[in-house]
Homo-oligomer: A and B are copies of this chain.
Amino acid sequence: MKAIILAAGKGKRFNEKEIPKPAVNVCGVPLILRNIFFLKKLGLDVVVVGGHKFDRLREILPEDVELIKNNSIERGNAFSVLCAQNKLKGRFLVLMGDHVYTEEFLRKTLNAPANSAIVCKESDLIHTDEATKILAREGKILDIGKEIEEWNYIDTGAFLCEDSIFKTLNDLFCEENHVEWSDVINRSDMNVYENEEPWMDVDMKEDLKKAEDLLMRSLKKDEDGFISRHINRRFSRSITKRLVNFNIEANLISIFSFLLCIASSLFFYGKILWIGGILAQFSSVLDGCDGEIARLKLKESKFGGFLDSILDRYGDAMIMLGMFSLLKFNFLNISILVAALFGSLTISSTAWRFENDFKEKIHTHEGWIRYIPAKRDERMFIIFLGGILGTIWLPAIFWSLFIIAILSNLRIIGRILIARKMRVA
C-alpha cells in the first residue's frame, strides 16, 4: 500500500521563512522523516507532494521516497492529492505533512476499514479552536470543517482512502478552482475510525516542545523494571530531551554509562561509598538514555543494543568487585559475591535465551515473578541504597550484595518454572 504525505502548504502561523514546516526538527529529526520512517517500517511505500520551499524538502528526503511537485498550492491541499493521482491505485493512506504521529498511531490506523477518516476525541494535545472537527452519526461523516458548530470528533489528518475518491476530487475541481481536502471528504461517503493513540498538529513554534514531550512519552519499554518505570525514566527522559538535539551518538552514551560504572567501582574501592552508590544509580539512569536517543533519532541499531548489553554486564561486574573490596575476604563472602554476580549476569541472559528458544519475550509470561526486583535497574537501585547506607553502616554493602544474590537467583528459578509451563501449554 502507498501513503501520500501532503507537504506543499505554507504553514502561515508557523513563522518559519527558511524551511517548510514538515522539515522542522522534532527530537533531532525532521518531522516528515519520522513519519516516513514509521510508514516504511509498517511496509508502506511513500509519496510526498511538496510545493512551498520544494527544494529544501527534496534535500532532506531519502531517495526511495517519490517526491512530486504541486505547482499550484493556491488551489488548496486537495490539489496535492490530484497531483499524485497516477501513483495511487487501490487503497492508500493520506497524511498531513505537518502532523507528528507516533508509530502506534500509524500502526493502528492501518487497521481501519477502507474509506475512513481517522478521528479522535478532544484532548489536551489538540488546539480545539484550530482543529478540523467532524460530525458523525452511526460511523458515517455528516459534516467536516474548522468552523462547524455541532461536532463529536477531531480529524487527525489521516485518511484511509480508495482510488474511487479521485472521481469526487475531479468533480470538485471541475466546479471550483480552490478545493480543500476536507471538501473532498465532505462530498465522499466516508466512515470514521477512532484511534486514541497520540498524535498532534504542529501549528505554531510553541507546539514543537509539546510534540517532543509527546514523542518522549511514547518511549516506555514494556520490559522496564519497577525502578526504571517509576524513577529512572523520568530522569533519563529529561536528559534525553536535552541531548537529542545535539549530535551525540547513542553508543557514546552507552560507553559513558559504562565509564560511570568504573568510576563507581573505584569510589567503592576508595571507600567513598556514597559517591559509588550515586554513580551506580546515575549510570543506570543514563543506561536508559542511549536507547531513547537511538529511538528518537530513528537510529536504533542492532550493534548498539548488542554493545550496550555487554558493557552493562562489564559494568555490573566492576561495581560488585569494587563493593566487595570493602568486605572481609572470607569464603562465605566470596560465595555471596559469586552468587550475586552470577544472578546479575544470568537474569538478562535467561531473557535472551528464552526469546531464542520460545520466540517470545519472557516478560510477557513472568506474572507475579516480575515483582521479584532483580532487573538491572532494580539491582542498581539496591547498590545505590547500599552505598548510601554503607556510609554510616558498612554491613549495608554486604547486605546489598546478599539481597541481589537471593533475589536474582530466585527470579532465575522462577524463569525455569515459566519455561517448564510453556512446555505443557
Contacts and interface: CB of A to CB of B under 8 A. Distances in A.
B302 A321 contact: no
Chain A interface size, under 10 / 10 to 19 / 20 to 34 / 35 or more: 35 or more
Interface stretch (A152-160, A164-172, A327-335): A327-335
A37 interface: no
A310 B350 contact: yes
Contacts of A317: 338-339, 342
Contacts of A423: 301-303
Contact of A334 (B303, B321, B415): B321
Question: Which of A310, A345, A353, A423 counts the most chain B CB atoms within 10 A?
Answer: A353
A338 B358 CA distance: 31
Contacts of A349: 313, 345, 348-349, 352-353
Contacts of A306: 350, 353-354, 357-358, 416, 419
A305 interface: yes
Contacts of A309: 353
Instruction: Tell me the dominant secondary structure on chain A's binding face.
Output: helix
Contact of A337 (B338, B339, B346, B356): B338
A392 interface: no
Given A302-B422, A310-B346, A416-B310, A338 B341 contact: yes
A325 interface: yes
A17 interface: no
Given A310-B350, A313-B342, 20 more contacts: A301-B423, A302-B358, A303-B423, A306-B350, A306-B354, A306-B357, A306-B358, A307-B416, A310-B412, A310-B415, A310-B416, A317-B338, A317-B342, A321-B338, A325-B331, A345-B346, A348-B349, A349-B349, A349-B352, A355-B356
19 contacts: A302-B358, A303-B357, A307-B419, A309-B353, A310-B353, A310-B412, A313-B342, A314-B342, A321-B335, A324-B334, A329-B330, A329-B331, A329-B334, A341-B341, A349-B352, A349-B353, A352-B352, A352-B353, A356-B356
